[in-house]
Amino acid sequence: MANSQRFKFTDLVAGLPSAVPFVGPETLERQRGKPFVARLGANENVFGPSPRAIRAMERAAHNVWKYGDPENHDLKEALAAHHAIPAESIVVGEGIDALLGHLARLFVAVGNPVLTSLGAYPTFNYHVTGFGGDLHTVLYKDDHEDIDALLSQAIILKPKLIYFANPDNPMGTIHPAAFVQKAIDAVPDGCLLVLDEAYVEFAPAGTAPVLDVTDRRVIRMRTFSKAYGMAGARIGYAIGHPELIGAFNRIRNHFGVNRIAQAGALAALADQDFLRDTVSNVAKARVRINTIAQANGLRCVPSATNFVALDCGKDGDYAMAVSEQLARQNLFVRMPFVAPQNRCIRLSAGLPEDLDLVAAALPRALEL
Amino acid sequence: MANSQRFKFTDLVAGLPSAVPFVGPETLERQRGKPFVARLGANENVFGPSPRAIRAMERAAHNVWKYGDPENHDLKEALAAHHAIPAESIVVGEGIDALLGHLARLFVAVGNPVLTSLGAYPTFNYHVTGFGGDLHTVLYKDDHEDIDALLSQAIILKPKLIYFANPDNPMGTIHPAAFVQKAIDAVPDGCLLVLDEAYVEFAPAGTAPVLDVTDRRVIRMRTFSKAYGMAGARIGYAIGHPELIGAFNRIRNHFGVNRIAQAGALAALADQDFLRDTVSNVAKARVRINTIAQANGLRCVPSATNFVALDCGKDGDYAMAVSEQLARQNLFVRMPFVAPQNRCIRLSAGLPEDLDLVAAALPRALEL
């Protein structure tokens, strides 16, 4: 009997690739046989969580024998107050990644069209493909996601979901709220705009459209992984019409959110002063990365996030070589996946000491 | 336009109920308007994790700005050494619940038959139904899952998955390893036996069949939620043939496991002395629950887990009334869902002080 025939996976699963969205830095370290000295490639927030959040997580570790509250009640109430929206318009999940997976499952059947930008967040694509969706893309325009192109294509394609990140990852660029609101208003009937705002706390005021949970055309994705510095805790949330949010309860893993993460997120949300300090520290780090780029005759794509796309000035092969040279000097960075954005390397807004290492390493990396 | 038509969920999702597998104790507390004084209903391990695991989690909270290793490499290597199996036969996930969800997604297409026991773990059923599976059941026999009946039915039904928990939840009963191994050997071609061993560390030696990761007929589910006392951390694992385990990589949320949970699990696994103490403490608590039952003229179903089904001696309505009377005395317990198992209430192996409260409350609860 053929080994490969013994496991009767669904037809859908049998046709899925084994490719993963991202290779983690630990995997690279194991392949290299040595650690990185600066971890600037995974869009993590090196400034970490509020000390109050850390203390809350330390305390919660002692009670981890209890399951977390499957309703995430206290956190949802706090988020509702913070955003001035009803709690029933919020669903908390194991990071935006998990929520994107649920969203794909809610809407995408085999063969359904879904629309995104070529080179945008690959984990969204992973989930859509994983549920058999037919992924369509439009191109970036001047390092921005091109929402006019998305909407034009959406009118033709009638996709179940339209993915749009504001700020964008991997480029860090933004569209102003008024423009995004116009786009929401233009979402065709039967389509849902997935507005991924993972980085929005770093962006200038006027980037996020007003939250309107009566609007059935859009769902907003937020997270504690980025500005709140808790990527490893795996806790994020989605905001939308209560009927849409309620549908997550039909499929989500109800007891899935880590109890320590719940406690940490609640404390992190309460410490908005720390968040403001983080945003300020990140802004300083972005300026520093720009200065380092300029000192090397290069420029950065203007960023509204905690990472910066540094334009290496040539093509993707060259940027890849620069990124490999940086890895040889023990710096972990990543780069956009597709041209022409892949002329850049992408660096997290590091600690001053991280960026000292970048300043020292970059000139050598560019000597190719 | 009808509101209900605006969200174009998949046909499958549109037909799913909103029911959740379990209502959490926090939800009940909010409904009651006051806390429980003993939390003995959720099959949690009140003895908690090893102090070394708690310290590891406290330390990890400081590094939670980093994503966890998506390969769960260090934990898989430690588990591989612990179980003397290859690391590629292990997949780590966000608790057995998440792994059961992935397993349903891997194997169950709309209309595919799946087999379990009536009254067995409802979260398995939730995931199977969630992917459109056609759930079939056999009855328990003398408070045990009836694996002969499962296998007879499997030959007729050719289910994609056969769920079997050993030890069983909610009754706490076991079948010996030799019997389970015979059942594995009898799994029909094209079926996969899901052997849920969440509670196996509490069971006597000779309960778990030898781990054989060349066997394509079975996948084993294990967790840090129960004997290791880390339910709120959401970390479990599955053991099986590397080809089957590899398939999880096509659909799992690669960065989904909490970094603090990874650190805690690694430390917990290393502290087998603490695990032995826990198992001993749980065994003492089971004896105590039996003593309390006898003092009230009742008996318990013999348990190999950290919970005990206490036979209230009448029908499900009576056991429900007893359980409500205990709740009125601020004790949280649950009960099996279906007859005749629902003549019992199910109590976790509590701390001595928890069981003092049970001893005091039960006589009053039985005065109906």
Judging contacts by C-beta atoms under 8 Å, the chain B residues touching residue A101 are: 253
Q: Which tokens belong to A88?
A: 């029933």
Q: Which residue of B has its CA nearest to A70?
A: B24
Q: Which residue of B has its CA nearest to A57?
A: B61
Judging contacts by C-beta atoms under 8 Å, the chain A residues touching residue B264 are: 61, 64
Q: Which tokens belong to B36?
A: 């429980």
Residue B351 binned pLDDT confidence (cut-offs 50, 70, 90): very high
- To the nearest whole angstrom, how far is the Cα of B193 from the nearest Cα of chain A? 12
Report long-range pairs for A124-127 (Cβ below 8 Å, ≥24 apart): A124/A100, A124/A163, A124/A194, A124/A196, A125/A21, A126/A20, A126/A21, A127/A97, A127/A100, A127/A101, A127/A103
pLDDT digit string, tens, across residues A272-282: 999 999 999 99
Helix, strand and coil in chain A, % to nearest 5: 45, 15, 40
The predicted pLDDT at position A94 comes to 98
| CB-based contact B118:B136 (threshold 8 Å) | no
Q: Decide if pLDDT at B169 tops 80.
A: yes
Q: Is B96 on the interface with A (CB under 8 A)?
A: no
Judging contacts by C-beta atoms under 8 Å, the chain B residues touching residue A45 are: 65
Q: Which residue of B has its CA nearest to A240?
A: B7
Cα–Cα distance for residue pair B147/B154, rounded to 1 Å: 10
- Chain-chain contact of B11 with A109 (C-beta, under 8 angstroms): yes
- To the nearest whole angstrom, how far is the Cα of B25 from the nearest Cα of chain A? 8
Alpha helices in chain B (DSSP H): 3-6, 11-14, 25-32, 51-61, 73-83, 95-107, 122-130, 147-157, 177-185, 242-247, 259-270, 272-295, 316-328, 352-366
Q: Is A354 on the interface with B (CB under 8 A)?
A: no
Q: For chain A, positions 280-339, list CB contacts with chain B under 8 A.
A: none
Q: What are phi and psi of B65, to 5 degrees?
A: -65, -20
Taking CA atoms, B294 is separated from B40, B78, B177, B297, B312, in Å, by 19, 43, 30, 5, 11
Which among B249, B209, B259, B204 has a CA at the least distance from the CA of B57?
B259
**Nearest CB to A7: which of B95, B229, B243?**
B243
- To the nearest whole angstrom, how far is the Cα of A64 from the nearest Cα of chain B? 5
- Chain-chain contact of A62 with B44 (C-beta, under 8 angstroms): no
- Chain-chain contact of A54 with B63 (C-beta, under 8 angstroms): no
Q: Which residue of A has its CA nearest to B26?
A: A69
- Chain-chain contact of B255 with A234 (C-beta, under 8 angstroms): yes
Amino acid at A333: V
- Chain-chain contact of A232 with B101 (C-beta, under 8 angstroms): no
Which among B160, B184, B251, B189 has a CA at the least distance from the CA of A2?
B189
3-class secondary structure, A188: coil
- The sheet with strand A307-311 has its strands ordered as A299-300, A307-311, A344-348
Peptide bond into B340 cis (omega under 30): yes
Span B339-348, mean pLDDT?
98
Q: Is A136 on the interface with B (CB under 8 A)?
A: no
Q: Which residue of A has its CA nearest to B6?
A: A190
Angle between helices B259-270 and B272-295 (to 10 degrees): 90
Span B168-182, mean pLDDT?
98
Structural element, H or E, at residue B218 = strand B218-223
Peptide bond into A21 cis (omega under 30): no
The predicted pLDDT at position B21 comes to 75
Q: Which residue of B has its CA nearest to A112?
A: B10
Q: What is the pTM of this model?
A: 0.97
Which residues, at least 6 apart from B270, have a Cβ–Cβ distance to it below 8 Å? B52, B78
Q: Decide if pLDDT at A2 tops 60.
A: no
Q: Is A33 on the interface with B (CB under 8 A)?
A: no
Q: Decide if pLDDT at B4 tops 70.
A: no
Judging contacts by C-beta atoms under 8 Å, the chain A residues touching residue B97 are: 253, 255-256
Judging contacts by C-beta atoms under 8 Å, the chain A residues touching residue B42 are: 66-67
The predicted pLDDT at position B20 comes to 76
Residue A19 binned pLDDT confidence (cut-offs 50, 70, 90): confident
**Dihedral sign from CA coordinates of B122, B125, B126, B127:** positive
Q: For chain A, positions 225-254, list CB contacts with chain B under 8 A.
A: 225, 229-234, 241, 243-244, 246-247, 249-251, 253-254
Cα–Cα distance for residue pair B187/B147, rounded to 1 Å: 11
Taking CA atoms, A187 is separated from A46, A152, A200, B98, in Å, by 36, 10, 21, 33
Q: Decide if pLDDT at A51 tops 60.
A: yes
**Nearest CB to B250: which of A3, A13, A67?**
A13
pLDDT digit string, tens, across residues A245-265: 999 999 999 999 999 999 999
Structural element, H or E, at residue A319 = helix A316-328
- To the nearest whole angstrom, how far is the Cα of A220 from the nearest Cα of chain B? 15
- Chain-chain contact of B39 with A66 (C-beta, under 8 angstroms): yes
Share of chain B above pLDDT 90, in %: 96
Span A293-302, mean pLDDT?
98
Q: Which residue of B58, B64, B245 to mutate against A (max A Cβ within 10 Å)?
A: B64
Q: Which residue of B has its CA nearest to A111?
A: B10
The predicted pLDDT at position A25 comes to 96
- To the nearest whole angstrom, how far is the Cα of A76 from the nearest Cα of chain B? 13
Q: Is B261 on the interface with A (CB under 8 A)?
A: yes
Q: Is A160 on the interface with B (CB under 8 A)?
A: yes
Q: Which residue of B22, B255, B334, B348 to mutate against A (max A Cβ within 10 Å)?
A: B255
- The interface predicted TM-score of the complex, written ipTM, equals 0.97
Span B150-178, mean pLDDT?
98
Which residues, at least 6 apart from B60, have a Cβ–Cβ distance to it below 8 Å? A232, B259, B260, B262, B263, B264
Judging contacts by C-beta atoms under 8 Å, the chain B residues touching residue A98 are: 253, 256
Q: What is the mean pLDDT of chain A?
A: 96
Q: Which tokens belong to B29?
A: 């507390």
Burial-class residue A62 by CB neighbours within 10 Å (0-12, 13-18, 19+). middle
- Chain-chain contact of B21 with A254 (C-beta, under 8 angstroms): yes
The predicted pLDDT at position B257 comes to 98
- Chain-chain contact of A26 with B108 (C-beta, under 8 angstroms): no
Task: Name beta bridge partners: B104.
Answer: none
Which among B19, B209, B187, B200 has a CA at the least distance from the CA of B115?
B187
Q: Which residue of A has its CA nearest to B226?
A: A65
Q: Which residue of B has its CA nearest to A47?
A: B65
